[in-house]
Structure 1
Amino acid sequence: MNISNFIEELKRRNVFKVATAYAIAGWLIIQVVSTVSPQLGFPDWVAPFFTVLVLVGFPLALIFAWAFELTPEGLKKSQEVDITESVTNRTGKKLNGIIITILSMAVIFLLVERVFFAEASFIENQSELADFQTASIAVLPFVNMSGDENNEYFSDGLSEELLNALAKVKEMKVAGRTSSFKFKGKNEDLKIVGDQLGVGHILEGSVRKAGGRVRITAQLIKVDDGFHMWSETFDRELTATNIFEIQEEISRTVLSELKVHLLPEDESELENIPTSDIEGYSMYLKANQLVVNRDIDEINVAIDLYKQALSIDPFFAEAHARLAIAYNLQGYYGNVPREQQIENMTPHVDQAFSIDENLAEAYAALGLLHDMKTDFEESEKAFLKSLELNPNLSDVYNWLGNLYMDELNDFQKGNDQYKKMYKVDPLSPLSIYNRAQASQFEDKYEEALSFHEINKKNNPEFVPTYLGLAFLKSDPHYGRLDEAFMAVHKAYQLDNNFTRSLNIMATRALELDLEPVARHYMEILKRNYSESLDYINRAGTFASYTSDYSYVEDGLLPHIEESDLVPGSSGFYWTMTDYAIYKDDPEFALQWFAKFDSTLLTPKDLTISMQNLWHTLPLRELYKFTDEKEKADLLLDKFCAFSTSNVDLYPQKEEDNWYLFDQATCLLEREQIDAVIPIITKLYLERNNRGNEYRSLKKDKKFQLAMEHPEFKKIMDVVFADLRDQKENLIAYLKAEGDWKEEWDEGN
């Protein structure tokens, strides 16, 4: 075969020109598809599919050009066309035109792609660059090399102070303290650490104290490749000034290495020297570490250490703020009356601000103080200011989230704070707990359960996890009051000083018609924690199920008469109403309505809001008792009109449980039983709402009337059968745990 003749034949049959035209056209198709696919949201496989299609078509096009010729009579095999009749020359000229046209289109496409699509790409890449330029770091606990475990708090405290200093710089993303300290004592791969904490850099080091000197070694490491960007050893005399100078030098070097721009306010933060006394500073560091575990005994020791630090240096602003926070925690985890907490906190919050009016911890303490005083709007402002000054104070996200959820009824904002806390401190058990709460709020029940299970596995002694599981299990998605009790019982076994566990177990026992069990836990609360809000608040619940008002008389009434607390819960008003009816003294309850919300007593002029909506129902019950029908009916009308017309204020809109219960209340009060059947079918059969049914059966006349309706009774029979099964299941559990008393068998 003559190669020259073969090449000439390829040229004559326009195979080269077809190859050129196909290659340019194929390239253009691939570029167009690759460029527009992301903009149009095409699946990822579209662009590769067209690329393969073009590549497969190339040899087929060449074979087709060799084997066939386009003639005036149509497409014919090349071997059937006489060379004298061939029109390949004219076809070649047409192919030249096609090639020029395709090349022109390619040039136009390149211009369009560079001008328009490149702008979109630039915007997208700028966003990625912004994320990349936000320097991220985790400060791992510095290793104590002193050979004395008593110095552990010093190395931990130094690490935390470095973390806080870096977190105050606005362009830094710093992993939370609890998450970073999860890796204490572990020789974990830094790539894994960085991935789990979501950071690009690690600061680690060691501390050695010996006599009057300290040696601190620090090194900055890049996570993705393990590159040591910087390391240095500081060998100094152990004085407060030297410690703060070392902290500042390490912080500045880290910021410089990460190319973080310092604003003037950042400069002043780094230069801040909180105290000049090393002994007081050491006590402060130790107290900070003790508070972290939320153990009441350790909190009490921490309070003593803060006091000692302040006796040495009364102008130590951070110690004042932290002491105020510790006093708040002492009340929450211990048995300190609310008024005493306020009295303890107030002078130290004031002192902290008088020394440093821009201290994030001082605003955090102020937020807690306002919360204690039920000044919720001021509490919100203080917490937000605290986070503005230091976005890394993960506890503040928790407190602010609780404020939104429990007091301000802004559930979405509360949920957002819980998620922010998790983002800042993802390995903190409290962050994981709150992240589970956020998932539950969004009806992602299996996700919520998985977060709790992770917490149980990684932090088995973290008590709130079991309370969270109890809250989840009693949710309408599950409706398992027995399993909720069991989860809290586990919490009580871990820490029998945590009054919240006793509170919840008493409530679940009442809901399952186990009054002796509930009374047992109420007696423990009364005997050991008579000043706690868990005892005081649960007194009314116990009375509403049992008509035994002894705990109300011994606990709730003396507390409310001596306190300046403004009740926010409708439960308080129900208790006052029930007690007034029980005592045949309606004026007793009316005086409390007048004291705390006098606008309720003039129904005609009353403006309903989500804050007072549920307060109208106990007052209506009181007016029914005093035969003031007009007022009672007007309150019901306003309640129902507000609920119906403001459905968007409920977290889940028309599907919200509270909304559905409010609608059911309106229909039951008006004795429209047929209309309420679809609602209670959804609440009790399609969902698994369980909780107040025994109380309604005993005390709610409208509920008792509805039970005479065959369809209503049929639904509730299913509910009560389920509650009886759960009751038996719980009794069996308590017997197996050895916590069932023989005298409780009577009547059960």
Structure 2
Amino acid sequence: MRFNAFLKECQDKEVFKKLSIYAVFSWLAIQVISTLQQPMGLSPRVVTYALILLLIGFPVYIFYIWKFQIAPIHKKHMAEAGSLPSKRGFFGSKTPFQRYYFLSIFIVSCLITLVLFFVVRNNFFKNQVPNEAGLAGSITLKNTDKIGVLKFENNTGKDTLDIVGKMAADWITHGITQKDIAQVITPQVVEDYSNIIKSQLSGSKKNTVLQDYFKPAQIIIGNFFLNGNRLIFQSSITDGKLDKTLISLDPVECDSNNPLDCIEELKQRLLGFLITAEEKDTDIEETPPKYAAYETFLEAKNAAVYDDSTLELIEKAIEIDPKYFEPRLFQLTYYYDQLQYRKADSILKIITKNFSSNPRQQNIVQMYSSLLEGNNREVYRHLKREYDLAPFELNTNATMLTVGLQYINRPEIIDTVFQEIDMKDSDAENCFYCSNRVYIKTYSDLALKRFDSVIKYASALYRYNDQEYFLKPLAVAYLAKGKDPLELLTAPGLRLSGEQKSDFLLYTGIQSLVIQGEAASSVYFKQLLKMPEGEAADFDIARAYYYSKAYIKALEQFEKLKEKDPEDLVVIGFLANIHALQDNPAAAKEELELLNSLRGEYQFGQIDYLFSRYYAVIGDKDQVFNYLKRAVAAGYLYTSSKYQYDPHFKPYLNTPEFKAILTYWH
């Protein structure tokens, strides 16, 4: 019997199905035991014991499958076929299938024995050595990530305040263990071990017990003294040998009648340092944040979608610790992303006044200053410095992708940045930055005409809730590949509101205008205009009429929109275009004058861009590029519906002047 035939027979006899049941059961059992171990007060080794039993049980289960499920049927079939061997062994008829089967049991048993050897050695015998004094119960010597906390020295000259030193150590220990940061060696444990060792050895070893017998990675030390009626606490964290100070915290001061105020403040600072010590970008902060602030801010950072509740968490973190720089940065980013530039600028001024004392903070502040000035080249330059420090930090990486594509239009650099972070195990459905990274990746692939890559990435996400925006790059890729984007609307599980559907149809129609032409694009505009009343967005309806060249109806729709918001720049721009297309230059001029009068701060070239579209409508090439250059120089972004994706500029896409616009910030 060949091995392939053996595998096929195993599949026919459902051996693999039965083995998978055992594997799933084992995995679930380990998960349940791991979850219940701590709440039930069980030994941490209970998980190890369960794993050992399940590993031993696996070859036994394989034999059980043979003896009681396969062998009787196997024997019956062979007897019916008249091929039952005359010689029989303990395990039944010695057939080729049986020989392969038991060879497999032997191999699996050998592998499991090897695994069991390492499991038992690492969990029951490793790191156990006798102590120097030959005590009956050996002291375990481990060089781990334990943290030692020493009693705070009382330098007040008042013995009655000795209890404050113990209280400080206990409070800090409680905070570390409560947050599950590390195992803690307390002053009491050190004292107990010192007493044991002193009873066995001559001389005192108390001063070296912590380092010699527990070998902590870090040790927290401190003292306190009086200044009038004010208690002042000092604390630092050293390495495990007490020969190198990792950080000295700023002194903490409080009323001598309320020492717990100092102790709580000190605890928050110490926990903040410990929890962030392993992060590569810790040096963004001048001082460690309070742990409560860090914990609150972490919840905000991990939010699937950034909304008002996320902002509340960020503001709460700032309230807990006003010196915490990163939440203020996220607050600034939130308002910038919400297009509330004036609010973002005011927050930037607060940050500039109260922070920016370290080089990294200065660089970030300068980057945001450049953002609000529309100087995209400087934005990229400052962000590149930040990215070089923390290329794997999700927020920085996602921002680098956005700036690389939408601010300076360099799609060729996107792949390198995107691949810095391995996405295979990421939860893009529930991770804001993860999905944002993929979205930028799809548009860089569109710019590079890698349509299969767009389909691969966008197809995996567009049906998830709140990620319908992946439909847009997917639609462009479908158009480029000659596929029908309308097929996407029938995908199982896709749920679109009326406005989401009209937005998709409008965008697809506009991109079809750019890629295919008027005849092909009319299909999408017609379907949008046939939607039931009240479903499609009014702005989408107005633009659908415009791009369908139904200018009378478009004019009517845009006039209604202008009545609702007389200062809507985009609506005014469309009205100027429509009047020009209807050969009404006086009305067009009136709209342009209104548009010009509305110039203000934080527009980043939007009005100049609308002027360039107007001149594209009337065919004035010189003015098209005059205003386009003004727009891009003021920071107007290269988004998914602007510049090369805007049908107004279709006649100019292949001109040197337009290519210069696309590479303006290079």
TM-score (norm. length: structure 2)? 0.43
The structure with the greater share of residues assigned to helix is: 1
